[in-house]
C-alpha cells in the first residue's frame, strides 16, 4: 500500500457548491447482498472509495463477474467458487463481517477474516454471531477467521438485538431473506443505510415488512433475483461539508443530497447560532459574521447525533468562544483526533468518554497523523482554517470513505493535495 500524505495550505475562504457522493455505508452491505442471488445486480451512485474497492475485489475473488466503471458497479455471482474473505483483502473494513450472513444464507458455509479490534475502539460483533447461531449456524474461530456453516438451510428466527447495531441489523436481515420461515428482528438500527438495503433486497424479491421501524418481519424466500439500485447520498460526507461551511468566512452549498438525514447536526448548528437552510436536495449552513455559542452534545444511534460526525464537530467547536462538551456513547476510543488538534493549538481535554473543548483557539499548521476515517476529516477541516501548512500522515484513512475530497475542496477554493510520502 502506498504511503500518502495530505498537504494543506490553510486560511483560504471556501465558496461555491459541492455534490455529495453515494453512501459508503450503504454501498458496503449492498454489494455484499449480491452474494444472495445468482443473477446480476447493477448499482448506480457508488462512491469510488477504498472501502468499496475492497468489497468489490473480495466479491470478484469469490467468483463474481463484475465491472466497476465510474460510479456504476455490476456484479454477478453465478456460482460461489470460494466462500472465503481473506485477511489481505478485507483487513481494513467491515467487508468480511457483512459477507457472513449472505454467504451462510446462500452457500451454507463461510470463512471470513475476523474484523477484531479497530482504531476507534472495541467493535464487537457478538450479536451478529448470536443471531446467526439461533438461525442454525455453527460458528467457530480458526486462525483469525470466523468459520461458519449450516446444515441444509438457515431457519427463520425471532431475535431482539440487545443493543443497537447497524451492520448487525444488516447482516441478520441478509441472512433472513433466504432463511426457511419467517423472522422477526427487534430493536433494529434505524440508520438510512438500513432502509436503503431493505429497498435493494425488496427489489431482489425479498419480503420485508417494517422499513424505518425497529421491528422487521422477513419472510424467507428460496431464491432472489438481481436488481438495479441507486445508492442513497452519503449523510456523513454531507455533514462534513456542512460543518466546513460553518468555518471562518466560508459559504458552501451542499447539493445532491437528502437534508433530513442530518437533522440532528442541523439542530446542533442552529442551537449554536449558525444560519441553516434546506430546500429540495440542498443544504447550507454558515457562520460568517455570526458569533457561535458553545454546546453540549452526545452521540446516539440514528436519529440522534451520529458518532461519524463527532470528530468534525470537535474541530468547529475549537473555533467557538467558551466551553463545549461532547459525550461519545457509541465507540470507546474515538477521540484520537483531539491529540492531533491539540498539537495544532486546540484546547481539548478528554476524560473517559467526554471531550471538553475550550475555544476559541488559533490553530497553526504542523505535522499530524490521521488515525481513522472520520478523524482524518476532522484534521482536514482543521488544516483548512489553520495558519500555514498542515501535513497529515496516513491519508489512506481519508480515501477509505470520502470520494475525491481533495478535488471537491479544491473546487471550493482550498489549497489541498495528496502526495506520496
Ligand atoms: N456492538 C456490540 N455487539 C455487536 C455489534 C455492535 O456490542 O454485535 C456495539 C459496538 O461495539 C459499538 C456499538 O454497538 O459500541 C455500535 O456498533 P455498530 O455495530 O452499530 O457499528 P458498525 O455496524 O460496526 C457502522 C458503520 C460505522 C458507524 C457505526 C455507528 C458501517 C460499515 N460502519 O459500524 O461507520 O460509526 O455503524 O453508526 O456501516 C465510518 O463510516 O467511519 C464508520 C465507522
Q: Determine if ligand 1 sits within 6 Å of the CB of residue 401.
A: yes
pLDDT value at 83 more than 90: no
Distance CA 84, CA 104 (A): 11
pLDDT value at 86 more than 80: no
Give the pLDDT confidence of 356-374 residue by residue, as tens digits.
999 999 999 999 999 999 9
Q: Is 16 left (phi over 0), alpha (psi -120 to 50) or beta?
A: left
Phi, psi for 197 (deg, rounded to 5): -65, -40
Q: Which residues of 140-177 are buried (b: 16+ CB within 10 A; e: fewer)?
A: eeeeebbbbbbeebbbbbebebeebbbbbbbbbbbbbb
Ligand 1: nearest atom to the Cα of 25: 39
User: Angle formed by the axes of helices 310-317 and 235-245, to 10°?
Assistant: 0
Quick one: average pLDDT of 187-199? 98
Q: What is the pLDDT of residue 118?
A: 64
Q: What is the pLDDT of residue 116?
A: 60
Residue 295 CB contacts under 8 Å (≥ 6 apart), including other chains: 268, 271, 272, 317, 324, 325
Ligand 1: nearest atom to the Cα of 374: 42
Nearest CA, atom 44, ligand 1: 308
Average pLDDT of the chain, as a whole number: 95
Substitution site in 92, 124, 302, 327 for ligand 1 pocket (most atoms within 8 Å of beta carbon): 124
Which position among 15, 118, 188, 246 bears the catalytic label?
118
- Roughly how many angstroms between the first and final C-alpha of the chain, as a whole number? 11
pLDDT value at 117 more than 60: no
| pLDDT class of 113 with cuts at 50, 70, 90 | confident
User: Angle formed by the axes of helices 24-32 and 192-203, to 10°?
Assistant: 30
Nearest CA, atom 1, ligand 1: 124
DSSP 293: P
Distance CA 66, CA 64 (A): 6
Q: Determine if ligand 1 sits within 6 Å of the CB of residue 308.
A: yes
pLDDT value at 87 more than 90: no
Give the pLDDT confidence of 217-261 residue by residue, as tens digits.
999 999 999 999 999 999 999 999 999 999 999 999 999 999 999
CA of 166 to the centre of ligand 1 (A): 6
Q: What is the pLDDT of residue 96?
A: 85
DSSP 413: T
Q: What is the grid cell recorded at 155?
A: 431457519
Q: Which residues of 328-337 are buried (b: 16+ CB within 10 A; e: fewer)?
A: bebbebbbbb
Ligand 1: nearest atom to the Cα of 163: 14
Active site residue 118: yes
Residue 322 is inside which H or E element, if any? strand 322-327
Nearest CA, atom 33, ligand 1: 25
403 compared with 84, residue with greater pLDDT = 403
CA of 123 to the centre of ligand 1 (A): 6
Q: Provide the Cα torsion 19, 306, 189, 173; round to 10°.
A: 50
Give the pLDDT confidence of 298-328 residue by residue, as tens digits.
999 999 999 999 999 999 999 999 999 999 9
Q: What is the pLDDT of residue 143?
A: 83
Q: What is the grid cell recorded at 49?
A: 472509495
| pLDDT class of 121 with cuts at 50, 70, 90 | confident
Nearest CA, atom 10, ligand 1: 123
Q: Determine if ligand 1 sits within 6 Å of the CB of residue 377.
A: no
Rounded percentage of the chain residues whose pLDDT exceeds 90: 90
CB 242 within 8 A of CB 283: yes
Nearest CA, atom 13, ligand 1: 330
Q: Determine if ligand 1 sits within 6 Å of the CB of residue 116.
A: no
Amino acid at each position: 500500500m502506498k504511503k500518502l500524505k495530505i498537504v494543506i495550505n490553510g486560511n483560504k475562504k471556501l465558496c461555491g457548491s459541492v455534490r455529495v457522493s453515494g453512501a459508503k455505508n450503504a454501498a458496503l452491505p449492498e454489494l455484499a447482498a449480491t452474494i444472495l442471488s445468482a443473477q446480476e445486480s447493477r448499482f448506480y451512485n457508488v462512491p469510488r472509495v477504498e472501502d468499496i474497492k475492497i468489497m468489490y475485489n473480495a466479491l470478484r475473488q469469490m467468483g463474481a463477474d463484475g465491472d466497476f466503471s465510474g460510479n456504476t458497479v455490476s456484479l454477478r455471482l453465478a456460482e460461489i467458487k470460494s466462500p472465503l474473505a481473506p485477511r489481505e483483502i478485507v483487513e481494513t473494513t467491515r467487508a468480511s463481517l457483512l459477507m457472513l450472513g449472505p454467504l451462510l444464507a446462500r452457500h451454507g458455509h463461510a470463512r471470513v477474516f475476523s474484523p477484531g479490534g479497530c482504531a476507534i475502539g472495541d467493535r464487537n460483533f457478538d450479536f451478529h454471531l448470536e443471531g446467526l447461531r439461533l438461525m442454525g449456524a455453527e460458528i467457530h474461530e480458526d486462525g483469525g477467521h470466523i468459520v461458519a456453516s449450516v446444515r441444509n438451510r438457515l431457519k427463520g428466527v425471532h431475535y431482539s438485538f440487545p443493543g443497537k447495531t447497524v451492520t448487525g441489523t444488516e447482516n441478520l436481515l441478509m441472512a433472513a431473506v433466504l432463511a426457511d420461515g419467517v423472522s422477526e428482528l427487534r430493536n433494529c438500527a434505524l440508520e438510512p443505510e438500513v432502509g436503503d438495503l431493505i429497498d435493494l433486497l425488496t427489489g431482489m424479491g425479498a419480503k420485508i415488512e417494517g422499513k424505518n421501524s425497529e421491528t422487521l418481519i422477513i419472510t424467507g424466500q428460496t431464491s432472489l433475483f438481481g436488481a438495479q439500485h441507486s445508492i442513497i447520498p452519503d449523510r456523513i460526507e454531507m455533514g462534513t461539508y456542512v460543518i466546513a461551511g460553518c468555518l471562518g468566512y466560508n459559504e458552501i452549498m451542499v447539493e445532491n443530497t437528502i437534508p433530513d438525514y442530518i437533522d440532528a447536526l442541523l439542530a446542533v448548528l442552529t442551537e449554536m447560532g449558525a444560519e441553516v437552510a434546506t430546500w429540495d436536495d440542498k443544504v447550507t449552513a454558515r457562520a460568517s459574521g455570526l458569533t457561535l455559542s458553545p454546546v453540549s452534545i452526545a452521540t446516539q444511534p440514528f436519529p440522534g447525533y451520529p458518532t461519524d460526525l463527532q470528530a468534525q464537530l470537535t474541530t468547529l467547536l475549537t473555533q467557538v468562544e467558551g466551553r463545549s462538551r461532547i459525550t461519545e456513547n457509541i465507540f470507546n476510543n474515538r477521540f484520537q483526533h483531539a491529540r492531533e488538534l491539540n498539537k495544532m493549538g486546540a484546547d481539548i481535554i478528554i476524560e473517559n468518554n467526554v471531550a471538553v473543548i475550550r475555544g476559541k483557539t488559533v490553530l497553526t499548521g504542523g505535522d499530524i497523523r490521521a488515525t481513522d476515517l472520520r478523524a482524518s476529516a476532522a484534521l482536514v477541516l482543521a488544516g483548512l482554517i489553520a495558519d500555514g501548512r498542515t501535513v497529515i500522515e496516513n491519508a489512506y484513512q481519508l480515501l477509505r470513505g470520502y470520494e475525491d475530497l481533495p478535488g471537491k475542496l479544491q473546487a471550493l477554493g482550498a489549497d489541498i493535495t495528496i502526495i506520496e510520502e
